[in-house]
Amino acid sequence: MESPALLPPQDVSGPFTPSADWCAQAKASFDATPPKPGVHVETKRSMNRGWSGYQHKAGDTVMSDLKPEIGPERMTQLLTLLKSGPDEQAFADLFRFYAPRLKSYMRKLGAAEDMAEELAQEAMAMVWRKAHLFDSAKAGAGTWIFSIARNLRIDAFRRQKRPEVELDDPTFMPDDQASPEAELDQGQQARAVRAALATLPKEQAKIVHLSFFEDKPHAEIAEQLGIPLGTVKSRMRLAFQRFRKALGEPEL
Amino acid sequence: MITHHPTEEFMVAYAAGTLDEANSLAIAAHLTLCPTCRDEIAVYEALGATLVEELPEAVMAPQALAATLERVRHASRPLATVSSPLPSRHAPTSSIMLPAPLRHYVGGDIGAAKWQVLGPGIHHMPLVASEGVTARLLRIAPGRAVFDHGHGGLELTLVLNGSYQSQGKRFTRGDLEVADENVNHRPVAGMEDVCICLAVTDAPLRFDSWIGRLMQPFIGI
Protein backbone atom coordinates (compact mmCIF):
# COMPACT_ATOMS: atom_id res chain seq x y z
CA MET A 1 0.00 0.00 0.00
CA GLU A 2 1.38 3.34 -0.94
CA SER A 3 0.62 6.15 1.37
CA PRO A 4 -1.91 8.52 -0.14
CA ALA A 5 0.53 11.32 0.61
CA LEU A 6 2.94 9.87 -1.90
CA LEU A 7 0.51 9.61 -4.74
CA PRO A 8 0.10 12.37 -7.25
CA PRO A 9 -3.30 14.07 -7.27
CA GLN A 10 -5.98 11.50 -7.96
CA ASP A 11 -6.96 12.97 -11.27
CA VAL A 12 -7.68 9.93 -13.36
CA SER A 13 -8.60 11.73 -16.53
CA GLY A 14 -5.30 10.73 -18.09
CA PRO A 15 -4.56 7.26 -19.34
CA PHE A 16 -3.28 4.82 -16.78
CA THR A 17 -1.04 2.19 -18.21
CA PRO A 18 -0.37 -0.55 -15.76
CA SER A 19 3.28 -1.38 -15.69
CA ALA A 20 4.29 -4.81 -16.71
CA ASP A 21 6.11 -6.42 -13.87
CA TRP A 22 9.84 -6.83 -13.81
CA CYS A 23 9.60 -9.96 -11.72
CA ALA A 24 7.17 -11.53 -14.15
CA GLN A 25 9.41 -10.48 -17.00
CA ALA A 26 12.42 -12.01 -15.35
CA LYS A 27 10.62 -15.28 -14.75
CA ALA A 28 9.29 -15.24 -18.29
CA SER A 29 12.71 -14.72 -19.75
CA PHE A 30 13.97 -17.74 -17.87
CA ASP A 31 10.98 -19.99 -18.50
CA ALA A 32 11.09 -22.38 -21.37
CA THR A 33 7.51 -21.43 -22.11
CA PRO A 34 7.01 -17.72 -21.73
CA PRO A 35 3.53 -16.44 -20.96
CA LYS A 36 1.34 -15.84 -23.97
CA PRO A 37 1.47 -12.31 -25.25
CA GLY A 38 -1.25 -10.20 -23.79
CA VAL A 39 -1.66 -12.33 -20.70
CA HIS A 40 -1.15 -10.10 -17.71
CA VAL A 41 0.68 -11.95 -15.03
CA GLU A 42 -0.98 -10.89 -11.82
CA THR A 43 1.51 -10.54 -9.03
CA LYS A 44 1.66 -8.84 -5.73
CA ARG A 45 3.71 -6.05 -7.19
CA SER A 46 1.47 -5.30 -10.11
CA MET A 47 -1.51 -5.26 -7.78
CA ASN A 48 0.38 -2.84 -5.59
CA ARG A 49 1.16 -0.78 -8.63
CA GLY A 50 4.81 -1.06 -7.79
CA TRP A 51 7.63 0.42 -9.79
CA SER A 52 6.30 3.42 -11.59
CA GLY A 53 2.75 2.15 -11.57
CA TYR A 54 1.10 5.14 -10.00
CA GLN A 55 -1.58 6.97 -11.85
CA HIS A 56 -0.57 9.73 -14.18
CA LYS A 57 -2.67 12.74 -14.78
CA ALA A 58 -2.95 14.25 -18.21
CA GLY A 59 0.04 16.37 -19.03
CA ASP A 60 2.18 14.64 -16.46
CA THR A 61 5.19 14.37 -18.70
CA VAL A 62 7.83 13.11 -16.40
CA MET A 63 7.29 9.37 -16.39
CA SER A 64 6.02 9.18 -19.92
CA ASP A 65 9.01 11.12 -21.23
CA LEU A 66 11.15 8.16 -20.45
CA LYS A 67 11.05 4.89 -22.25
CA PRO A 68 8.24 2.69 -20.98
CA GLU A 69 10.80 0.41 -19.42
CA ILE A 70 10.33 -0.59 -15.86
CA GLY A 71 12.48 -2.48 -13.45
CA PRO A 72 16.16 -2.21 -12.74
CA GLU A 73 17.09 -0.24 -15.87
CA ARG A 74 14.39 2.28 -15.07
CA MET A 75 15.63 2.79 -11.53
CA THR A 76 19.21 3.11 -12.73
CA GLN A 77 18.06 5.66 -15.30
CA LEU A 78 16.34 7.71 -12.58
CA LEU A 79 19.39 7.57 -10.34
CA THR A 80 21.59 8.62 -13.26
CA LEU A 81 19.30 11.64 -13.78
CA LEU A 82 19.72 12.48 -10.12
CA LYS A 83 23.47 12.11 -10.46
CA SER A 84 23.59 14.70 -13.23
CA GLY A 85 21.65 17.31 -11.29
CA PRO A 86 19.17 18.00 -8.48
CA ASP A 87 16.23 16.41 -10.32
CA GLU A 88 13.38 16.42 -7.81
CA GLN A 89 11.02 14.50 -10.06
CA ALA A 90 13.51 11.66 -10.60
CA PHE A 91 14.07 11.65 -6.85
CA ALA A 92 10.33 11.54 -6.19
CA ASP A 93 9.98 8.51 -8.46
CA LEU A 94 12.85 6.72 -6.71
CA PHE A 95 11.36 7.69 -3.34
CA ARG A 96 7.92 6.30 -4.17
CA PHE A 97 9.40 2.95 -4.99
CA TYR A 98 12.19 2.60 -2.47
CA ALA A 99 11.21 4.54 0.67
CA PRO A 100 8.25 2.28 1.64
CA ARG A 101 10.35 -0.82 1.02
CA LEU A 102 13.34 0.49 2.94
CA LYS A 103 10.96 1.22 5.80
CA SER A 104 9.75 -2.39 5.66
CA TYR A 105 13.37 -3.52 5.66
CA MET A 106 14.12 -1.50 8.80
CA ARG A 107 10.93 -2.75 10.47
CA LYS A 108 11.83 -6.36 9.69
CA LEU A 109 15.22 -5.90 11.29
CA GLY A 110 13.64 -4.66 14.47
CA ALA A 111 13.32 -0.87 14.12
CA ALA A 112 10.22 0.61 15.73
CA GLU A 113 7.79 2.53 13.52
CA ASP A 114 9.30 5.99 14.13
CA MET A 115 12.86 4.76 13.79
CA ALA A 116 12.04 2.89 10.59
CA GLU A 117 10.40 5.99 9.12
CA GLU A 118 13.39 8.11 10.09
CA LEU A 119 15.90 5.62 8.68
CA ALA A 120 13.96 5.23 5.42
CA GLN A 121 13.80 9.02 4.96
CA GLU A 122 17.45 9.46 5.91
CA ALA A 123 18.51 6.65 3.55
CA MET A 124 16.68 8.40 0.71
CA ALA A 125 18.24 11.74 1.72
CA MET A 126 21.62 10.03 1.46
CA VAL A 127 20.70 8.76 -1.98
CA TRP A 128 20.26 12.42 -2.96
CA ARG A 129 23.45 13.57 -1.26
CA LYS A 130 25.60 10.76 -2.63
CA ALA A 131 24.06 10.50 -6.09
CA HIS A 132 27.20 12.05 -7.63
CA LEU A 133 29.10 8.94 -6.52
CA PHE A 134 26.74 6.48 -8.23
CA ASP A 135 28.44 4.50 -10.98
CA SER A 136 26.05 2.42 -13.04
CA ALA A 137 28.95 0.35 -14.38
CA LYS A 138 29.68 -0.95 -10.90
CA ALA A 139 26.21 -1.53 -9.45
CA GLY A 140 22.56 -1.21 -10.32
CA ALA A 141 20.44 1.40 -8.55
CA GLY A 142 18.82 -1.21 -6.31
CA THR A 143 22.14 -2.60 -5.07
CA TRP A 144 23.53 0.87 -4.52
CA ILE A 145 20.49 2.04 -2.55
CA PHE A 146 20.42 -1.21 -0.56
CA SER A 147 24.05 -0.76 0.50
CA ILE A 148 23.33 2.82 1.66
CA ALA A 149 20.36 1.66 3.75
CA ARG A 150 22.28 -1.30 5.15
CA ASN A 151 25.20 0.88 6.26
CA LEU A 152 22.89 3.47 7.73
CA ARG A 153 21.21 0.75 9.76
CA ILE A 154 24.54 -0.54 11.05
CA ASP A 155 25.52 2.98 12.13
CA ALA A 156 22.22 3.84 13.73
CA PHE A 157 21.05 0.56 15.08
CA ARG A 158 24.10 -1.50 15.90
CA ARG A 159 26.15 1.59 16.78
CA GLN A 160 29.13 0.10 15.01
CA LYS A 161 31.47 1.13 12.30
CA ARG A 162 31.22 -0.63 9.00
CA PRO A 163 34.67 -1.59 7.71
CA GLU A 164 34.52 -1.09 3.95
CA VAL A 165 36.74 -1.61 0.94
CA GLU A 166 38.13 1.68 -0.41
CA LEU A 167 38.69 1.89 -4.14
CA ASP A 168 41.53 4.39 -3.94
CA ASP A 169 43.41 2.29 -1.38
CA PRO A 170 47.01 1.70 -2.59
CA THR A 171 46.72 -1.92 -1.41
CA PHE A 172 43.55 -2.47 -3.48
CA MET A 173 44.10 -5.42 -5.82
CA PRO A 174 42.46 -4.63 -9.18
CA ASP A 175 39.93 -6.92 -10.83
CA ASP A 176 41.02 -9.80 -12.96
CA GLN A 177 40.69 -8.99 -16.64
CA ALA A 178 37.43 -9.97 -18.28
CA SER A 179 35.79 -11.91 -15.50
CA PRO A 180 32.70 -13.70 -16.82
CA GLU A 181 30.52 -11.75 -14.41
CA ALA A 182 31.51 -8.52 -16.11
CA GLU A 183 29.77 -9.80 -19.23
CA LEU A 184 26.36 -9.36 -17.60
CA ASP A 185 25.20 -5.80 -17.40
CA GLN A 186 23.63 -4.63 -14.18
CA GLY A 187 20.07 -5.06 -15.42
CA GLN A 188 20.73 -8.61 -16.56
CA GLN A 189 22.38 -9.31 -13.25
CA ALA A 190 19.35 -8.07 -11.32
CA ARG A 191 17.07 -10.23 -13.47
CA ALA A 192 19.27 -13.30 -13.05
CA VAL A 193 19.23 -12.86 -9.26
CA ARG A 194 15.46 -12.45 -9.30
CA ALA A 195 14.97 -15.51 -11.46
CA ALA A 196 17.25 -17.61 -9.26
CA LEU A 197 15.34 -16.44 -6.19
CA ALA A 198 12.01 -17.32 -7.77
CA THR A 199 13.07 -20.91 -8.43
CA LEU A 200 14.68 -21.56 -5.06
CA PRO A 201 13.21 -24.46 -3.04
CA LYS A 202 11.05 -23.12 -0.24
CA GLU A 203 13.27 -24.22 2.63
CA GLN A 204 16.30 -22.60 1.02
CA ALA A 205 14.39 -19.40 0.29
CA LYS A 206 13.50 -19.24 3.97
CA ILE A 207 17.16 -19.38 4.97
CA VAL A 208 18.03 -16.72 2.40
CA HIS A 209 15.38 -14.39 3.83
CA LEU A 210 16.53 -15.00 7.38
CA SER A 211 20.14 -14.32 6.38
CA PHE A 212 19.19 -10.82 5.30
CA PHE A 213 16.30 -9.97 7.58
CA GLU A 214 17.30 -11.48 10.91
CA ASP A 215 20.19 -9.95 12.74
CA LYS A 216 21.02 -13.28 14.34
CA PRO A 217 23.80 -15.84 14.23
CA HIS A 218 23.02 -19.07 12.39
CA ALA A 219 22.91 -21.00 15.62
CA GLU A 220 19.92 -18.91 16.70
CA ILE A 221 18.27 -19.21 13.31
CA ALA A 222 18.65 -22.99 13.58
CA GLU A 223 17.07 -22.94 17.02
CA GLN A 224 14.23 -20.76 15.81
CA LEU A 225 13.49 -23.12 12.93
CA GLY A 226 14.01 -26.19 15.08
CA ILE A 227 16.56 -27.70 12.70
CA PRO A 228 20.22 -28.60 13.24
CA LEU A 229 22.85 -25.93 12.60
CA GLY A 230 24.43 -28.17 9.97
CA THR A 231 21.16 -28.16 8.03
CA VAL A 232 20.98 -24.36 8.10
CA LYS A 233 24.51 -24.19 6.77
CA SER A 234 24.02 -26.76 4.03
CA ARG A 235 20.79 -25.09 2.84
CA MET A 236 22.62 -21.81 2.78
CA ARG A 237 25.45 -23.28 0.81
CA LEU A 238 23.09 -24.77 -1.77
CA ALA A 239 21.08 -21.57 -2.10
CA PHE A 240 24.06 -19.27 -2.50
CA GLN A 241 25.78 -21.63 -4.93
CA ARG A 242 22.71 -21.26 -7.08
CA PHE A 243 23.02 -17.46 -7.09
CA ARG A 244 26.68 -17.56 -7.96
CA LYS A 245 25.95 -19.98 -10.77
CA ALA A 246 23.11 -17.84 -12.10
CA LEU A 247 25.58 -14.99 -12.36
CA GLY A 248 28.31 -17.03 -13.95
CA GLU A 249 30.56 -17.04 -10.92
CA PRO A 250 33.12 -19.82 -10.77
CA GLU A 251 32.54 -22.54 -8.20
CA LEU A 252 34.71 -21.93 -5.22
CA MET B 1 47.74 -15.81 -5.64
CA ILE B 2 45.07 -16.05 -2.97
CA THR B 3 43.85 -19.61 -2.50
CA HIS B 4 42.03 -19.48 0.84
CA HIS B 5 38.79 -17.52 0.98
CA PRO B 6 36.12 -16.79 3.60
CA THR B 7 33.17 -19.19 3.76
CA GLU B 8 29.74 -18.16 2.47
CA GLU B 9 28.50 -17.71 5.99
CA PHE B 10 30.83 -14.76 6.55
CA MET B 11 30.43 -13.35 3.04
CA VAL B 12 26.64 -13.35 3.15
CA ALA B 13 26.54 -11.86 6.65
CA TYR B 14 28.93 -9.12 5.55
CA ALA B 15 26.77 -8.32 2.51
CA ALA B 16 23.63 -8.39 4.64
CA GLY B 17 25.18 -6.10 7.25
CA THR B 18 24.61 -8.56 10.08
CA LEU B 19 28.25 -9.48 10.71
CA ASP B 20 29.90 -8.10 13.85
CA GLU B 21 32.52 -5.38 13.49
CA ALA B 22 35.61 -7.52 14.23
CA ASN B 23 34.75 -10.15 11.61
CA SER B 24 33.64 -7.42 9.16
CA LEU B 25 37.10 -5.91 9.49
CA ALA B 26 38.71 -9.19 8.40
CA ILE B 27 36.29 -9.56 5.49
CA ALA B 28 36.77 -5.95 4.30
CA ALA B 29 40.56 -6.37 4.46
CA HIS B 30 40.37 -9.64 2.53
CA LEU B 31 38.05 -8.08 -0.08
CA THR B 32 40.56 -5.29 -0.65
CA LEU B 33 43.10 -7.93 -1.66
CA CYS B 34 40.76 -10.39 -3.41
CA PRO B 35 38.89 -9.44 -6.63
CA THR B 36 37.30 -12.92 -6.78
CA CYS B 37 35.54 -12.40 -3.47
CA ARG B 38 34.50 -8.86 -4.43
CA ASP B 39 32.60 -10.37 -7.35
CA GLU B 40 30.94 -12.77 -4.97
CA ILE B 41 29.95 -9.99 -2.55
CA ALA B 42 28.41 -8.10 -5.49
CA VAL B 43 26.13 -11.10 -6.10
CA TYR B 44 24.99 -11.17 -2.48
CA GLU B 45 24.41 -7.41 -2.43
CA ALA B 46 22.31 -7.68 -5.59
CA LEU B 47 20.37 -10.42 -3.83
CA GLY B 48 19.86 -8.21 -0.76
CA ALA B 49 18.56 -5.46 -3.04
CA THR B 50 16.15 -7.86 -4.71
CA LEU B 51 14.83 -9.10 -1.38
CA VAL B 52 14.21 -5.52 -0.24
CA GLU B 53 12.52 -4.67 -3.55
CA GLU B 54 10.18 -7.59 -3.03
CA LEU B 55 9.15 -6.57 0.48
CA PRO B 56 5.60 -5.29 0.90
CA GLU B 57 5.50 -1.50 1.04
CA ALA B 58 5.24 0.05 4.48
CA VAL B 59 3.01 3.10 4.78
CA MET B 60 5.16 6.20 4.91
CA ALA B 61 4.28 9.16 7.11
CA PRO B 62 2.14 11.82 5.43
CA GLN B 63 4.38 14.29 3.61
CA ALA B 64 7.37 11.94 3.90
CA LEU B 65 8.61 12.85 0.44
CA ALA B 66 8.24 16.59 1.11
CA ALA B 67 10.03 16.20 4.45
CA THR B 68 12.90 14.32 2.81
CA LEU B 69 13.20 16.88 0.02
CA GLU B 70 13.29 19.56 2.69
CA ARG B 71 16.26 17.76 4.30
CA VAL B 72 18.28 17.87 1.12
CA ARG B 73 16.98 20.83 -0.83
CA HIS B 74 19.25 23.41 0.71
CA ALA B 75 22.23 21.18 1.20
CA SER B 76 24.98 21.87 -1.26
CA ARG B 77 25.98 18.82 -3.16
CA PRO B 78 29.21 18.10 -4.97
CA LEU B 79 28.83 18.11 -8.72
CA ALA B 80 28.71 14.77 -10.43
CA THR B 81 32.17 13.46 -10.97
CA VAL B 82 32.96 12.84 -14.59
CA SER B 83 34.10 9.38 -13.68
CA SER B 84 35.29 7.95 -10.42
CA PRO B 85 39.02 7.30 -10.38
CA LEU B 86 39.50 3.78 -11.60
CA PRO B 87 41.96 1.66 -9.72
CA SER B 88 45.06 0.89 -11.68
CA ARG B 89 45.07 -2.30 -13.69
CA HIS B 90 48.42 -3.20 -12.29
CA ALA B 91 49.12 -4.90 -9.03
CA PRO B 92 49.92 -2.33 -6.38
CA THR B 93 53.58 -1.53 -6.06
CA SER B 94 53.08 0.55 -2.96
CA SER B 95 55.01 -0.39 0.13
CA ILE B 96 51.90 0.02 2.24
CA MET B 97 51.09 -3.27 3.93
CA LEU B 98 47.74 -2.80 5.63
CA PRO B 99 44.51 -2.47 3.64
CA ALA B 100 42.69 0.82 4.36
CA PRO B 101 40.03 -0.66 6.68
CA LEU B 102 42.85 -1.87 8.95
CA ARG B 103 44.81 1.37 8.77
CA HIS B 104 41.82 3.15 10.29
CA TYR B 105 42.03 0.95 13.38
CA VAL B 106 45.81 0.90 13.67
CA GLY B 107 46.09 4.65 13.13
CA GLY B 108 48.41 4.25 10.15
CA ASP B 109 50.31 1.52 8.37
CA ILE B 110 52.15 -1.29 10.12
CA GLY B 111 54.81 1.11 11.43
CA ALA B 112 52.16 2.80 13.58
CA ALA B 113 51.18 -0.46 15.32
CA LYS B 114 51.60 -0.44 19.09
CA TRP B 115 52.75 -3.95 19.86
CA GLN B 116 52.43 -5.75 23.15
CA VAL B 117 54.41 -8.87 23.96
CA LEU B 118 52.28 -11.99 23.92
CA GLY B 119 54.97 -14.62 24.16
CA PRO B 120 58.51 -15.26 22.99
CA GLY B 121 58.69 -13.99 19.42
CA ILE B 122 54.99 -13.15 19.39
CA HIS B 123 53.39 -9.70 19.68
CA HIS B 124 49.83 -8.50 19.32
CA MET B 125 47.76 -5.33 19.03
CA PRO B 126 44.06 -5.57 19.88
CA LEU B 127 42.01 -3.51 17.39
CA VAL B 128 38.34 -3.98 18.12
CA ALA B 129 36.15 -6.00 20.45
CA SER B 130 32.42 -6.07 19.96
CA GLU B 131 29.62 -8.55 20.42
CA GLY B 132 32.04 -10.93 22.10
CA VAL B 133 34.44 -11.05 19.17
CA THR B 134 37.94 -9.56 19.14
CA ALA B 135 40.14 -8.63 16.19
CA ARG B 136 43.86 -8.18 16.75
CA LEU B 137 47.03 -7.93 14.75
CA LEU B 138 49.60 -10.62 15.44
CA ARG B 139 53.30 -10.47 14.69
CA ILE B 140 55.12 -13.79 14.74
CA ALA B 141 58.89 -14.10 14.33
CA PRO B 142 60.13 -16.13 11.31
CA GLY B 143 60.03 -19.87 11.92
CA ARG B 144 58.26 -19.47 15.21
CA ALA B 145 55.79 -22.28 15.95
CA VAL B 146 52.61 -21.73 17.85
CA PHE B 147 51.80 -24.85 19.85
CA ASP B 148 48.80 -27.04 19.15
CA HIS B 149 45.54 -25.38 19.81
CA GLY B 150 41.89 -26.06 19.26
CA HIS B 151 39.18 -23.47 18.77
CA GLY B 152 36.24 -22.62 20.91
CA GLY B 153 34.35 -21.19 17.99
CA LEU B 154 35.19 -19.95 14.54
CA GLU B 155 38.50 -18.20 14.17
CA LEU B 156 39.51 -16.14 11.16
CA THR B 157 43.13 -15.49 10.31
CA LEU B 158 44.10 -13.16 7.45
CA VAL B 159 47.74 -13.10 6.42
CA LEU B 160 49.12 -9.60 5.70
CA ASN B 161 52.84 -10.28 5.51
CA GLY B 162 55.06 -13.35 5.38
CA SER B 163 53.33 -16.70 5.63
CA TYR B 164 52.44 -19.54 7.90
CA GLN B 165 52.00 -23.24 7.44
CA SER B 166 49.17 -25.11 9.08
CA GLN B 167 47.77 -28.60 8.53
CA GLY B 168 49.98 -29.05 5.50
CA LYS B 169 48.69 -25.85 3.86
CA ARG B 170 50.57 -22.65 3.30
CA PHE B 171 48.88 -19.30 3.91
CA THR B 172 50.32 -16.16 2.33
CA ARG B 173 49.29 -12.50 1.95
CA GLY B 174 45.55 -12.20 1.35
CA ASP B 175 44.77 -15.78 2.36
CA LEU B 176 42.05 -16.05 4.96
CA GLU B 177 41.81 -19.21 7.02
CA VAL B 178 38.52 -20.12 8.66
CA ALA B 179 39.22 -22.59 11.47
CA ASP B 180 36.37 -24.15 13.40
CA GLU B 181 36.28 -26.18 16.59
CA ASN B 182 37.25 -29.32 14.69
CA VAL B 183 40.55 -27.87 13.59
CA ASN B 184 43.47 -28.50 15.83
CA HIS B 185 46.48 -26.93 14.29
CA ARG B 186 50.01 -25.90 14.92
CA PRO B 187 50.77 -22.89 12.75
CA VAL B 188 54.41 -22.25 11.97
CA ALA B 189 55.51 -18.88 10.61
CA GLY B 190 57.47 -19.02 7.35
CA MET B 191 61.23 -18.50 7.55
CA GLU B 192 61.29 -15.81 4.83
CA ASP B 193 59.90 -12.92 6.87
CA VAL B 194 58.02 -11.87 9.94
CA CYS B 195 54.46 -13.19 9.73
CA ILE B 196 51.84 -10.51 10.34
CA CYS B 197 48.20 -11.45 10.42
CA LEU B 198 44.83 -10.29 11.58
CA ALA B 199 43.24 -12.81 13.94
CA VAL B 200 39.57 -12.69 14.87
CA THR B 201 38.60 -14.78 17.87
CA ASP B 202 35.85 -15.14 20.40
CA ALA B 203 36.34 -13.00 23.45
CA PRO B 204 36.71 -13.20 26.39
CA LEU B 205 39.74 -15.28 25.68
CA ARG B 206 39.03 -18.93 25.88
CA PHE B 207 41.25 -21.39 27.55
CA ASP B 208 41.33 -23.47 24.41
CA SER B 209 41.80 -20.72 21.83
CA TRP B 210 45.10 -20.02 20.21
CA ILE B 211 45.39 -16.59 21.72
CA GLY B 212 44.01 -17.75 25.03
CA ARG B 213 46.59 -20.49 25.33
CA LEU B 214 49.34 -18.12 24.34
CA MET B 215 48.35 -15.57 26.90
CA GLN B 216 47.59 -18.02 29.65
CA PRO B 217 51.11 -18.12 31.15
CA PHE B 218 51.36 -14.34 30.99
CA ILE B 219 48.10 -13.09 32.35
CA GLY B 220 47.17 -16.14 34.34
CA ILE B 221 43.77 -16.89 32.82
**So what's the pLDDT on residue B215?**
60
Min Cα distance A57 → chain B (Å) is: 19
Residue in chain B closest to A212 (alpha carbons) equals B16
**Residues with pLDDT less than 50, chain A:** 1-69, 181, 252
Verify cis geometry, omega within 30 degrees of 0, for the bond prior to A9: no
**So what's the pLDDT on residue A51?**
39
* Closest to A111 measured CA to CA, from A156, A160, A159: A156
Instruction: Tell me the residue type at B108.
Output: G
Rounded-to-integer distance, Cα A59 and Cα B195, Å: 68
Question: Which A residues in the span 179-218 are in contact with B, Cβ-Cβ below 8 Å?
Answer: 179, 181, 189-190, 193-194, 197, 208-209, 211-216, 218
Residues of A in contact with B96 (CB under 8 A): 170-171
**So what's the pLDDT on residue A217?**
77
* Closest to A109 measured CA to CA, from A123, A93, A129, A90: A123
Is the pTM of the predicted complex or chain greater than 0.90?
no
Rounded-to-integer distance, Cα A204 and Cα A223, Å: 16
With a CB cutoff of 8 Å and minimum separation 6, the contacts of B184 are B148, B149, B150
**So what's the pLDDT on residue B90?**
52
Helix pair angle (A229-246, B35-53), 10° resolution: 100
Q: Please judge whether A3 and B62 are an interchain contact, meaning their C-beta atoms are less than 8 angstroms apart.
A: yes
**So what's the pLDDT on residue A73?**
86
Q: Please judge whether B17 and A86 are an interchain contact, meaning their C-beta atoms are less than 8 angstroms apart.
A: no
Residue in chain A closest to B102 (alpha carbons) equals A163
Residues of A in contact with B81 (CB under 8 A): 132-133
Residue B142 near residue B192 (C-beta atoms within 8 A): yes
- The minimal CB distance from B9 to the residues A91, A214, A236 is found for A236
Find residue B196's DSSP bridge partners: B139, B161
What's the order of all strands across the beta sheet hosting B163-166? B169-172, B163-166, B188-189
**So what's the pLDDT on residue A243?**
86
Phi, psi of B70 (to 5 degrees): -65, -35
Residue B130 near residue B216 (C-beta atoms within 8 A): no
Burial class of B142 by CB neighbour count within 10 A (0 to 12, 13 to 18, 19+): middle
Cβ-count burial A176-199 (b if 16+ within 10 Å, e if not) = eeeeebeeeebbbbbbbbbbbbbe
**Residues with pLDDT less than 50, chain B:** 83-84, 203-207, 218-221
Q: Please judge whether B18 and A45 are an interchain contact, meaning their C-beta atoms are less than 8 angstroms apart.
A: no
* Closest to A58 measured CA to CA, from A24, A11, A95, A19: A11
Rounded-to-integer distance, Cα B191 and Cα B172, Å: 12
Question: Which B residues in the span 118-157 are in contact with A, Cβ-Cβ below 8 Å?
Answer: 130
Residues of B in contact with A100 (CB under 8 A): 57-60
Find residue A78's DSSP bridge partners: none
ipTM for the complex shown = 0.84
Residue to substitute from A23, A169, A210, A231, interface B, most B β-carbons within 10 A: A169
With left for phi above 0 and alpha for psi between -120 and 50, is residue B98 left, alpha or beta? Answer: beta
Residue A146 near residue B48 (C-beta atoms within 8 A): yes
Q: Please judge whether B49 and A244 are an interchain contact, meaning their C-beta atoms are less than 8 angstroms apart.
A: no
DSSP line for chain A? ---GGGSPP--TTS---PPPPHHHHHHHHHSSSPPPTT-----HHHHHT-TT-SPPPTT-HHHHHS-S--SHHHHHHHHHHHHHS--HHHHHHHHHHHHHHHHHHHHHTT--HHHHHHHHHHHHHHHHHHGGG--TTT--HHHHHHHHHHHHHIIIII--------TT-TTPPPPPTT-GGGGS-HHHHHHHHHHHHHTS-HHHHHHHHHHHH--S-HHHHHHHHTS-HHHHHHHHHHHHHHHHHHTTPPP-
**So what's the pLDDT on residue B147?**
58
**So what's the pLDDT on residue B52?**
96
- The minimal CB distance from A5 to the residues B25, B64, B77 is found for B64
